[in-house]
Amino acid sequence: MNKKTKKRIVGLALVFALFAVIASGTLAYFTDTDEATNVFTAGNIDIQLDEWGKDAEGTFVEFAEDTALKELAPGSSSTTEVMKVATITNTGDSDAWVWAEILVPSKLVSANAPTNESNSALHYNTYGAYATEYFGRYTQTPINDGVQVGNAISVDPNAEYVDIAEENTWSNPVKGGDNVTIDDVEYVVMLTKMKSPLPVGKTSLPFLRGVYMDNDVDVARDAEGKIIEDTYVIPVQGTDNKVTWEDYDGSWEVLVRVYGIQVPGFDNVDDAYNAYIASFNADGERVAH
C-alpha cells in the first residue's frame, strides 16, 4: 500500500434558517442552525458553528472553508487524522438545547455503524461523546492533543467554554434518521446531542475532533498496475457482516450541521429534538401542529 498517496478533503458546514409553530399555533418555538457562509437568526435563538484545525507548527487556527483543504492518507487516529475540532457557541440571548449532525458519504461507512465501524473506509473522531477523554476512561484515544489542558478546553483563546462536567458532554452518536442526498452524494447522518442547555455566551465542549482514512484503504490500479487517479480500493461491509473490496472514486467530504432550539417547553434535549423532527412532514416541509 502506498500510504503517501493522499486525498484532498474539504471541511464543510451546512445551514438552514428555521422557524415553526406548534400546538395548533398556540405555542411558538424558535430554532436556528448555522453554516460557514450564511447565518440566520430565528427569534431569540442564535448559534454559531466553530471549527478549528492545526497549522504546520501545531497551533490551533480557524478551520475556514476557503483554507480548509486538507490531505487524507490511510492510517489511524494517532498517525494521519485531519484535526477538525467542532463546537457550538450560543450567540443569542436565550439558553438553547443544541445538537449536531456529522454527515459521512454512505459508501465509506460500515452498515453496522455506529456500533461497529471497524470496516468503515472513513472514520470520524467524536470528542467527549462518551465523557471519556475528559475523565481519562478511554486510554485508546490520545488526550494529549492540546484540546484539553488541565481541566479546561484550550482551542479558542477567546471562547468561554462550558465547564468540563458530565452534564455538559455529548451523547453517543447514533444514526439520525434516513440517509440524505446532497449534491448527488448520499450521506449517513450521525447525530449527537449536548446533554444540558447551552447557556448564552458560552461555547460547548467539542463534539468532533477530526477524521481519518482507514488503514486498509489502498490506491486503485489498472490492469497494468498503474495507479488510477482519485480512485481507491475501500472495504464495504454489508448488513450480513461480509466485507467486499470495491473501487471508489466518489466524495470524501464530511459535512457538519448544527441546530439550536429554545429551552422553555422542553424538559430535555431529546424532547426538543423530537419536537423539531415532528415539525416536518414526509416531504420535508415545515408544518404547524
pLDDT of 288 above 90: no
DSSP secondary-structure letter at 205?
A: P
pTM: 0.79
The domain spans of the chain are 7-217+253-278
Instruction: Specify the pLDDT at position 70.
Output: 57
Instruction: Specify the pLDDT at position 132.
Output: 46
Range among 70-74, 144-148, 274-278 rated most confident: 274-278
pLDDT tens, position by position, 84-130: 889 999 999 899 999 999 999 999 998 877 777 778 888 888 765 44
Instruction: Specify the pLDDT at position 91.
Output: 93
Task: Give the mean pLDDT of 180-193.
Answer: 93
